[in-house]
Structures are given as structure tokens and as C-alpha cells.
Amino acid sequence: MTIRAGAVSEATQHSGEWIFIDIGFASSKPSCGLLVGEGDPAEITFSQLKLHLQKIISFDQTPLNLVIEAPLSIAFNALGNPTGRSIEKRGRETRYWYVGLGCSVLVAATYLLRTIHDSNQSRDIRLFEGFASFKQASTSHSQDVLNLRDIAWNPATSKGRIVAPTDLSALPSDSLTSAFLVAGMDFGIPPVIIAE
């Protein structure tokens, strides 16, 4: 199995199977949104998400485009300290990968991807980062995955955009890497699907 960063050119509806995940890490409540292809979204627990994803991955051999609404790449400044990526600041608001909820969903994504990485599947998986952090109003996990699908499949007509990895550094001196390199998994730096 190959898990790698997707490419902006692969962010089309018919480039493979699609799964959209709004990941959460609650101990008992349904904190994850899951949307498979053209289906309907479901709100499930983290353990249910892992089981569903393992079944889906083993079911087919076509390329799988996996969108996870969590930081999939990280940035450090020239001094080696964590710093925000270009997409994580809007006006005075920030949603940096290394504080608050960003850390929580990064840990959840690490556990999810470790499960996939360690399985004996042969399917190619392309990663895309979802980013739905600067919302005007609170939305459900189901609505977030629906919004991410709309942007990925219809970027010209939706309220969002896809940011290439080359546009994620806030400063030229910043260093970007896979968020999972520290866990021994280097998947590259995926494009980011941003819900505006």
C-alpha cells in the first residue's frame, strides 16, 4: 500500500474513490463525520471510524482519495519553533496546528493513519487535508464533510478553495513537513481543501 500526499490535479470527482472525514477524538460521543463518495454523511465515534475505514480500504483496489479535516502538514520557523501555516491566520483569528483543537485532531489523525499504514492492504491512498476552521456559524460534522466534498468536486462553484503545498508556508524561511514524520510516517505535504 502506498499512502502519499495527493496532488491538486487529482482533486476531481472521478480521480478515484473519495472519503471525507471530520475527525474527532471524544471518549464516547460521535465526534467524527464520515462521508463516502456520493453517499450520505454519518456521525460516528473514533473507533467506529477506524472500523469503517479499514473495511472500505480492503473492499476495492481503485485509488482512494482520503480527506481528513486535521493538520496533515506542520511548519517550523527558522529557529526551529512551531509556527503557523499561511492558511491558519485570518485577520486577527488564528487556528494554528500546534495549539488547542489542532493538536487534538492531529493526534487523532496520527492514530487513524497509523492503523491504515500498519495494515496489509495494497490500495493506493492519496491524502488531502480538510480545513473548516474559520466558520461564521457552528456546523455539524455531517455538514463539514458535505462542504469539503462540494469544494473538492466543484472548486470553481463552491465557497472554498484548494491550496497547493507550495503555498502553505507563511514565510519563505519556514520549514514544512508531513505532520506524521515524527511518528515514522512521511506521507508528504498534501493540498488543503479549505471551506470558507
pLDDT in tens, 37-84: 999 999 999 999 999 999 998 888 899 999 999 999 999 999 999 999
Lowest mean pLDDT of 2-6, 23-27, 56-60, name the range.
56-60
CA 14 vs CA 2, 10, 37, 63, 69: distances in Å: 19, 9, 10, 10, 21
d(CA 191, CA 138): 24
Do 17 and 133 form a contact (C-beta atoms < 8 A)? no
Supply the pLDDT for residue 1.
Answer: 67
Contact 193, 152 (CB under 8 A): yes
Do 65 and 10 meet the contact criterion of CB atoms below 8 Å apart?
yes
What are the angstrom distances between the C-alpha of 28 and each of 46, 78, 182? 9, 40, 28
User: Is pLDDT at 157 greater than 80 in this prediction?
Assistant: no
* Alpha helix segments (H runs only) across 16-140: 46-59, 101-118
Q: Is 121 helix (H, G, I), strand (E, B) or coil?
A: coil
Q: Is the pLDDT of residue 32 over 90?
A: yes
Structurally, how many domains does the chain consist of? 1
pLDDT for residue 60: 81
Which parts of 27-161 fold into alpha helices (H)?
46-59, 101-118, 141-153
Q: What is the pLDDT of residues 107-156, one digit of tens each?
A: 999 999 999 999 877 899 999 999 998 776 678 889 899 999 999 998 77
Please give the Cα distance from 190 to 177 (Å, whole number). Answer: 10
Q: Print the domain residue range for 119.
A: 2-195
| Count of CB atoms situated within 10 Å of the CB of 72 | 29
Q: How many CA atoms are closer than 13 Å to the CA of 97, on its beta-carbon side?
A: 30
Q: Please state, as a whole number, how many other Cβ atoms lie within 10 Å of the Cβ of residue 191.
A: 27
